[in-house]
Amino acid sequence: MGLLDKIAKFFGIRNEEANILVVGLDNSGKTTILNQLKSDDARAMDIVPTIGFTVEKFKTKALTITAFDMSGQGRYRTLWEQYYRDCQGIIFVVDSSDKIRMVVARDELESLIKHQELANRRVPVLFFANKMDLRDSVSSVKVSSLMGLEEIRDKPWYICASNGLTGEGLHEGVEWLTEQLKSSMAAKKKK
């Protein structure tokens, strides 16, 4: 730990760190959203589908977030559960224009929420109703209804309309998630 880190820690201004999972079906916009959250000089010019998972870091005002960008392809979704134990938050990205696969997304969400590593934990879940710019997209209220979010009673959750290409709605969602993560970390420190 360097001198500046020690001084920052002493004054309580050190950026805390949190691990989050970024999940959702393939082609929902997970990687595009993460790319938008990175600093301008760290953004990729071309986005390619994630195979397996990738790890990205970005900073908010209060946290440094390590995001595990999980592939949404069917054959890779079983990888998600390997990361449940160590995550402090989840971003679930839904393609709001893909009404046909919304049922599959809902099934994946239900499996995630009920998994033994998450079932008894109050892990905050941020939903991005992504691709709001597309003609066939439905509102975030409709996505919430189709995904059955009102049935989630044991975890804090929030849904935000978003456009991963322009960044619209992303910061609102990340601010909510940051506040949830900070509250959770503060509660753990008190114990």
Q: Residues 64-105: pLDDT tens digits?
A: 999 999 988 888 888 899 999 999 999 999 999 999 999 999
Tell me the average pLDDT across 145-171: 96
Cβ burial of 163 (10 Å; 0-12, 13-18, 19+) is buried
pLDDT surpasses 50 at 4: no
Which pTM was predicted?
A: 0.89
Percent of the chain predicted with pLDDT > 90:
69
- CA distances to 14, 40, 65 from 72, rounded to whole Å, are 34, 25, 20
Q: Residues 110-147: pLDDT tens digits?
A: 999 999 999 999 999 999 999 999 999 999 999 999 99
Catalytic machinery residues: 73
Quickly list DSSP for 62-95: SEEEEEEEE--SGGGGGGGGGGSTT-SEEEEEEE
Instruction: Report the chain's mean pLDDT, rounded to a whole number.
Output: 89
Residue 185 φ/ψ, nearest 5 degrees:
-65, -40
The 10 Å Cβ neighbour count of residue 37 is: 23
Residue 76 φ/ψ, nearest 5 degrees:
-105, -5
Please report the pLDDT score of residue 115 as a whole number.
95
Strand ranges (DSSP E) for the chain? 16-23, 53-59, 63-70, 89-95, 125-130, 157-161
